[in-house]
Structure 1
Amino acid sequence: MMFYGNRKALMNIKNYVLLDQLDTLGHKCFLFKGIKGLGKSIAANSLAKKLLCISKDLNCKCQSCYHFDNSTHPDLFIIKPSGSSIKKEQVLFINQEISTSATLSKYKIFIIDDADKMSVSAQTSLLKVLEEQEGNNIFILIAHNNLLPTIESRMNTITFLPINDLEVKSFLEEKKYSLFEKEILSCATNGQIGEIIRISKGEKFQAFVEFIKKLFSLSSKSKYDIIELFGEIKEKNPYSFYNIYKDYLLAFFNILSQIFFDIMYINLDQYSVIHFQSMIDILIKYKGSYSLNRLDIILQNIQNCNDLLNTGKLTTNEYFSLITILKEDKK
Structure 2
Amino acid sequence: MSVFDNLVGQEHVVEIIQKAVASARNGEETQEMTHAWVFTGPPGSGRSSAAVAFAQALVCPHDGCGTCNQCKSAANGAHPDVEIIRTEGLSIKIDEVRELLARVAWAPSMGGWRVVVMEDADRLTESAANALLKAIEEPGNRTVWLLCAPTLHDVLPTIRSRCRHLQLVTPSAIAVAQVLQNRDGISPQMADFAARVSQGHIGRARYLATNESVRNTRS
The TM-score with structure 1 as length reference comes to: 0.55
Distance in 2, Cα, partners of 1:73 & 1:67: 5
* Deviation (angstroms), 1:194: 2.4
3-state SS of paired residue (1:83):
coil
* Deviation (angstroms), 1:123: 1.7
- Partner residue in 1 for 2:149: 143
- Once the two structures are superposed, residues 245-304 of structure 1 have per-residue CA deviations (whole angstroms, 9 ceiling, x without a partner) of xxxxxxxxxxxxxxxxxxxxxxxxxxxxxxxxxxxxxxxxxxxxxxxxxxxxxxxxxxxx
* Deviation (angstroms), 1:118: 1.9
Between structures 1 and 2, the one with greater helix share: 1
Contact 2:64/2:71 (8 A) holds in 1: no
Q: 1:119 aligns with which of 125, 150, 153?
A: 125
1:40 counterpart = 2:79: no
3-state SS of paired residue (1:19):
helix
- Once the two structures are superposed, residues 150-184 of structure 1 have per-residue CA deviations (whole angstroms, 9 ceiling, x without a partner) of 111111111100112431342344443473x4454
Contact 1:32/1:157 (8 A) holds in 2: yes
Rate the CA distance shift 1:70–1:36 in 2: closer, same or farther, 3 A: closer
Contact 1:27/1:154 (8 A) holds in 2: no
Instruction: Note the aligned Cα RMSD (angstroms).
Output: 2.9
Distance in 2, Cα, partners of 1:173 & 1:17: 30
Q: 2:19 aligns with which of 9, 15, 23?
A: 15
Higher relative CO (CA 8 A, sep ≥ 6), structure 1 or 2? 2
Please say which structure displays the higher CA radius of gyration.
Answer: 1
Contact 1:109/1:137 (8 A) holds in 2: yes
The TM-score with structure 2 as length reference comes to: 0.79
Distance in 1, Cα, partners of 2:102 & 2:42: 31
User: Identity of paired residues, percent?
Assistant: 25
Distance in 2, Cα, partners of 1:124 & 1:201: 43
Gaps of 5+ in 1: 212-331
Distance in 2, Cα, partners of 1:31 & 1:9: 12
3-state SS of paired residue (1:138):
strand
Give the alignment of 1:56-205 within 5 angstroms. 56=62, 59=65, 64-65=70-71, 67-68=73-74, 71-145=77-151, 146-174=154-182, 175-177=185-187, 179=189, 181-182=190-191, 184-201=193-210, 204-205=213-214
Distance in 1, Cα, partners of 2:63 & 2:143: 23
